[in-house]
Each structure stands twice: as C-alpha cells, then as structure tokens.
Structure 1
C-alpha cells in the first residue's frame, strides 16, 4: 500500500453518522439544521444531509447560504471596485430566484459537513440507484453533491453529467499538484518554515485530544473562520471535533508554546492521494508579526508534502495560496432535478451558464 493510501484509510462513516443522529446534528455543529442519514450502496457508505427548506443554516447544508448569503458577506471583505454594484444586483436577483425554486429543499449526498468534501474512492458508482431511492423517499427535494471538481477526481463529474445532473459552479478552489515541486521550493514557504523555527512553538500530531484541547482548537477555529470571516462557516463543537478525529475523518496537527498552550491548529482530511484542510485556526489576539496563520498553513502543507499528497486548498486567500504554488480550479455543486416541475429545474440551467460565463472568470482573475 502506498503512503498516500495508508494515511487516508479507515474513515468510519457509520460511526460518524450514528453519533450525529443520536445527538442531533445541531448539537454537534450548531448552525446545521439538517436531518442526517447514511446511504450504503455498492460497498460505499455516504453520509447524507436532508434539508426541508430552512434558510440561514451553514453553507455546508444550505445552497441558498452558499450562493447568496455567503456571497453577500464576501462583498464586504473584498475590493471589487466598479463591479461591486453589479454584483449586489446579481446576488439580489439570485436571492429571489433561489428562494422561489426552494433550493434549500435538498438532499446532499456524501456530505461530511465540511467546507470541502473529498469523495475518496466513490466516483459515482451506483448513482442511478441512489438517486432513485432518494427520489422515492424525498420526491419534492433537489438532490445534490457538493465539492465536485475535475482536478480532485474527473470521474465523479463525468458520472454526474452522464446521469443528467446540472453542474452549478460554486467556488474557485486552489489546488497543488506536486508539493515537492510546486510548494516546498517556494521562497514564501521557506520563509514560513523559518517563521515556525523562530517562533519557539513545538509542532505535534494530536491523535486523542483531551476535552480542554478540543475546546481550545475549536475556539481557535472560531476566532478565524466564524468571528473574523463568517458565521455561515460550520460552527463546530468540541464534541464534533473529537467525533471526527475518533472516526478517522479528521487528522490534527497543532503548535504549542512553551507552556503547552495550543496557539495554532490545522485539521485536515486525507482521502486517496488528496488532502484538504477544513479546520484551521490560530490565536488571533496575537500580533500579526507572530505569523500564526502562516505557521498553521505550513503545518498542513508539510504533512501533505511528507506523505506525497496532492492538496485541494479549498477557496479563499487566493493570492496567499498562489504564492505558495497553488493554481485555480472551478468547483461545482451538482444538482439533480428531472423529477421536479419544470419551473424548479430549468432556471438552474440558466444560472449555471451565467455563473460559468460571467462570474467564474472574474473570480479567477481576482483570485477570490
């Protein structure tokens, strides 16, 4: 078995879903209001969320939040210049349209409640049978698959398109093909490594966090992704963190100060030969000169490089990631709607075209 296969093996999807069902998803991820189920088919176990139209939940379960609410918040964080007003108009129109379509009445397949789902060895096997079962159980719901892109695995989008799914562009993601070639030799990465060495922090691979450590890691994540960026990011609890690590979903690397306090953390998922880091955090009360964000990112990159992994760096911080060897790709959410009335399905084709032709090129140019 190759090194990359070994580090990404043995995720217990059944235990993960069963605990979410037992406690209630909202207990473990406070802004997730979905029902949780496990689809088992053709040897695959796929965590799946079911939303019944509620608005305002995290974008990991609510397409309206992903395409409208999160986009609206992003306008306040980036400088679009003269494009800001047209963007506001487009988002306002999208808001009305997605609400009319009831886009949040949706079943999302293989949804792990992460900013980026890696689908691992599932390339769409049994797709027709899975959708037939779900349509029978949820005839009024869209079906969806988040985090689909042609770089991570070209077979899944090919299978979805062949089965009649609509590919709706969602984000620009930043990917790195070969970390030894594209990442490790970069001056910015060497500076990040030097910053870590000068910091006096000690890096540790954490496997079984205590309650206090889990609380600290979640607090660091929330400082960055919830308080600084958006409350629409998944709001994990310490109990979710411990569950995700115990099930083998999440790996954790931390940097401690001389007193043992965790100052930065990188939580990442490995499936096959691809890694992504959905949980990153650092003590934002420390001065920027401490370089804790750079250290957190470096810890993840160093792990991926050492294990020969490709990196799906998710969205955001495009310039930072590009300077460290990443390049852009388009990520999609695939929707199945052929069982729904024409007025609910056909607008998605138009939206997909508009996003592909007008929005994604601008986002790629501006590294959003």
Structure 2
C-alpha cells in the first residue's frame, strides 16, 4: 500500500487503466483551491492493490464545504436546513440540539480526518469497490495518521452494498448523513410515470435545443459553472462544493463527466447537467439552470430530465443524490439512507465517545426524521 503525492508518484504507483488517475492528477496540477474554491485540504493518492483512491487530509479547521469537513455536513449544513425545511414544532428543539452538538464535535476534533475515495463531490460513487481492502486501509492510515479519524463518505446499501457491509464487519462506525433518492429500473419506475411524460412535453414545447457538448469552449465552461452556482450555491447552500470553470473544463476534457445542456434560439445555455458514471450507477454532480427565468419555463424539470434521460439511455441505475424529495418521488425515486463510515478505534477515548454519541443521536433521532419527513 502506498500513499503518494500525485505530482511526484513513485515508480509503478499508477496501475494500468486506472479510472481515477485523470481526475486525481487534474486536481493536483491545478490545486484544490483553484478547482473547488471553498475546499481547503491536502490532496493525495492511495494505491491499494490494483486501485488508486483520491485521499483528502484535513487538520481540524472549521468552515468550507462539507465534502471534506464533517462539521460542515452535520452542523453548518443542518443549521442552514432548519431555515428551509418545515420541521414544525421540532424546530426550537432541533436548533438547541445542533448548538449542543456543535460544541461537542468541535471538542471532539471532528474535522481532523482523512477521507478515502473522496472525489469531493456531493455524492461520491465507489464503483465496484467492495471494501475487501478496508481493514488494510484502516490499519495503514491509522498508523500514518494516529490523530485523525479515517472516513469514507457516500456509503449506502443501494449503490455500494458490499462496501457498506465491509465497513460494518470491520468495525467502522456508520454515521447517517442524509437521505438520497435512487431509481433502479428507470424504464418501469421513471419513464412510465405521468410526471415524466409532462417533463418531456415541456422540453419539446420549450423550443430549447439539446447540446451534447461534442466541443466545450471556455465560455461554455464558465456558463456551466455559473448555472450550477446559481442553483446549488446561491439557492441551496454555500456549503455545497463550488466548482470552477477550470474544473468543468477538466472533467469534460478527460471524459470524467458527461455534459448535456439546453440552449435557447440565441444559443444561450439555460440548463445544464454533468453526470458521473462509475460501475452501473450514474449521479449528477453538476445540475444548474438560470434561476432568474420565470418558473413557468420549468428549467429545473428540464435540467433533471437531462441527466435522468442519460441514465435511461445507458440502461443504468440513477443515484439522484439528496434534496427535492417530493419532486423525485413523483418521478419514481425511493429514499435510501446514506452514511459516512468512520474508523476511530485508534483515537483517544474522548474522541471515540463523541463519535459514539453522534452515531446514537443520528440513528435514534435524525434517521427517523429523515424518513418521516422525506428529508
């Protein structure tokens, strides 16, 4: 097992046909801050057998996107969600609980963490990784980083069941993170839906032209980044990763993401998506549209149609990530609890205790709330 700097790899570090190499090297060459401005982390690569995983290393700082920082995911994002989601009479209680958890997680140094297979996306896909090497990874990284928790984000029983089972069997804590919306058979669960038919008719009547981005210009990349920012950062949360035009262009050029957009008669890009496929699952890290346009134009519906139809055309499954629960249910998606798997056996007792309390609170309070209210 080798942990290495992608810009200075030892001989033989990269196996032939490594599907993560282009992304890891692309981020390393430009620098994390240039690619994803609201992320600060040390970017490394971990060779384990025939696989190479992107690794992020954080030393405990607070603030910035949740893709590398558990405190942002569980405290800052949850606090912001309280102002958006209708939690009824529970809101004051939840606010007080989040405030208490904030102090506890800071004391427990929750952000001193090494993430494995972290693509720094809202939803990481793990492909065919079954977790057979998790015990070796845990032992190796715990020896190398004895004061850091070891974590794997975006683990669930639908898109990564083998990895979830392997983490459980190796004693990793499973911290519930959110409810994601997934569709296994798009032909029967999505295409046959009345709402899906309405979405296709909306697209046809809109007069918008579909662009498959055989060529992507710098202006296209800038507009794609802008549309994503309008939705995911401006409308949703600044804790979502902010992808730069350089990141968009790199992921298009290397074929890491497949982009599809909708343009008006003047050629202006109004809706766009960028989809990642690993194994037999597609997820859309990039979804955006011009939020200043009238709601009746249905640009969000068109943007989601762009990536869902991609998965349908390829005959693969769709991990639609979190959010817009009712919208996704109306189009055939079902909810699955997603976890962050954390190895903490090498940490001091107080930090293990904090993570244990956190796990219990999430299992007993957060998960039932997610399921009951469709969060």
**TM-score category by the smaller chain?**
over 0.9
1:216-255 correspondence runs (5 A): 216-255=223-262
Show the counterpart of 2:87: 80
Could you tell me which residue of structure 2 aligns to residue 5 of structure 1? Answer: none
Residue 121 of structure 1 contacts residue 272 of structure 1 at CA under 8 Å; is this kept in 2? yes
TM-score (structure 2 length as normaliser)? 0.93
Is this contact kept in 2: 1:208–1:246, CA < 8 A?
A: no
State the distance in 2 between where 1:177 and 1:125 align. Answer: 25
* SS of 1:174 mapped into structure 2: strand
Q: 4+ runs of 1 displaced by more than 4 Å?
A: none
Q: 1:349 to 1:207 in 2, by over 3 A?
A: farther
State whether residues 271 and 300 of structure 2, in contact with CA within 8 Å, keep that contact through their aligned partners in structure 1.
yes
d(CA) in 2 for partners of 1:246, 1:295: 24
In structure 1, C-alpha distance between the alignment counterparts of 2:288 and 2:367, rounded to whole Å? 28
* Residue 136 of structure 1, CA deviation: 2.3
Determine which of 149, 168, 173 is the counterpart of 2:180: 173
Match of 1:123 among 127, 130, 147: 130
Aligned position for 2:8 = none
Q: Which residue of the other structure, out of 235, 256, 265, is the alignment partner of 1:258?
A: 265
Q: CA deviation at 1:366?
A: 1.2
Question: Which of 115, 120, 144 lines up with 1:137 in the alignment?
Answer: 144
Task: Show CA shifts across 1:134-161 (max 9, x none).
Answer: 1222111110000000011210011111
Name structure 2 gaps, 5 residues minimum: 1-16
Q: CA deviation at 1:115?
A: 0.3
Deviations 1:256-302 (A, max 9, x none): 11111111001111111111111100011110001000000011111
> Which residue matches 2:192?
185
RMSD (Å) for aligned C-alpha atoms: 1.2
Residue 307 of structure 2 corresponds to which residue in structure 1?
300
The alignment status of 1:66 with 2:76, answered yes or no, reads no
Aligned residues of 2:105 and 2:354 also touching (Cα < 8 A): no
Instruction: Indicate which of 327, 332, 339 corresponds to 1:332.
Output: 339
Whether the 8 Å contact between 1:144 and 1:335 is mirrored in structure 2 is: yes
SS of corresponding position for 2:272: strand
Give the CA deviation at 1:83: 0.9
Equivalent residue, structure 1, for 2:169: 162
SS at match of 2:191: coil
> Residue 123 of structure 1: CA displacement?
1.3
The 1-side partners of 2:352 and 2:40 are apart by 24
CA-to-aligned-CA distance 1:25-49 (integer Å, 9 cap, x gap): 0111001100101111111111111
Aligned length: 359
Q: Is the 8 A contact 1:207 1:252 kept in 2?
A: no
Q: Is the 8 A contact 2:58 2:68 kept in 1?
A: yes
| Contact kept in structure 2, 1:12 and 1:248, CA below 8 Å | no
